[in-house]
Structure 1
């Protein structure tokens, strides 16, 4: 595959992930709450991933001695961050949530330093400061449609913080011999098992026997897009390398904002656009250079 084709794949995959931002906003638009959404997202993902693994003749069993690992990934990779993300999506524009999700590498770097798995450079420090200034611009009184929305920005930031922790944990201690697809399948299965009683006990369970509308279709589409894009992303890492594939973060943020404008007719103030540019610039400074390595 040529470099041009690789960038094309990167754009398609990033656009797919980007559309899940407005889909989340649509999913919560009529009152659905996080645990009910998380259960169906995970359940649909388990079925889709399971079928893919069966077709590929890959194992779908979960090694008992690694159940703790699947549980950990389910908690910090899905249950906790998605609970915050869906709650933030109720109150914040989807495009703003997309911008805040791009904080993952900025939050991951200081965690990596603390774990001793990355090295300090002045350029990366500048990246963190630049991204921090972007967040400050985002919480200006005039940046959001309603100044009260500022209170939900920290809630939205909790999700990328969880993803940053997850990435560093995997980078530090690995996946215990499991492939990324196996990890995602196992974590999704454990996540669905945990989310179901939470959804039922809190009254957030979503009964599929209802009049289907945009929220219901958004839940299914988001889950299927995630499985398809994740599978493609793992393939892209194997073909083009993790440093090249990491650039998908820019595409996800940009297309997340664009999809939100198209599907939700969202419009943003100059503060939001300035914040996005600063956060993306900070992300570019923090990302590993070509000669450095990323965790698989």
Structure 2
């Protein structure tokens, strides 16, 4: 491609439909200021920065990434990224699908609200990306290549977990009682669908439990009720949007985190943080400005 110093991509010609399957993998070094997006994919895409710098943006939040950083793009979530003007990054990437992708990432604390991890030692991940690319490039039997690639991807997930060890959500994916597994599913659903109109009735129907029983078990497993958990996710996301690089109105932020009524959103935000959204934004900017001076 004429927008890269170098680029190489290998595709999985026979990706399986199941738990976890690689779609393609590659490596590249783009030109300065090379931009992708704003876009939306229907698959997961992970980039690990090998050298240089760039900026990754998701949900209106910017992350300055450099060597050792890995950033995650999620299905149906708006994103963009751009190479630095003076020291453009080089990176390796892998794209994948599968119904185990979301719970595995959540287990490691990787979500659209926490989409960047860091490793001081890139050798394990770098070697795995190389092996992934070779597997797809030289496979004499595509069906077997898919098996090997998905196995390598699981090892990569393990390395992502090591990088993000301080934010692991659950201790393991071991066999757990059915209700606990369902509660973890509810946590995942609320963590990703917080921008939608959600009620405890919706969640109860989705999981097949009476709302009272679900609320009781959710609190037993997580320490809070489903709606308290949803409020926490929404308020944390709203706080990020308020201090992000893109200036969104209070109405836009309210809508982005699932509130049709901006006034009600503001009341909830004040109740959570002690300040109205506009006051929080003003205070943050003053503090940020004073630190820079």
TM-score bracket, shorter-length normalisation = under 0.3
- Give the number of the structure whose residues are more often helix, by fraction: 1
Q: Given the two structures, how large is their TM-score scaled by the length of structure 2? A: 0.24
TM-score (norm 1): 0.24
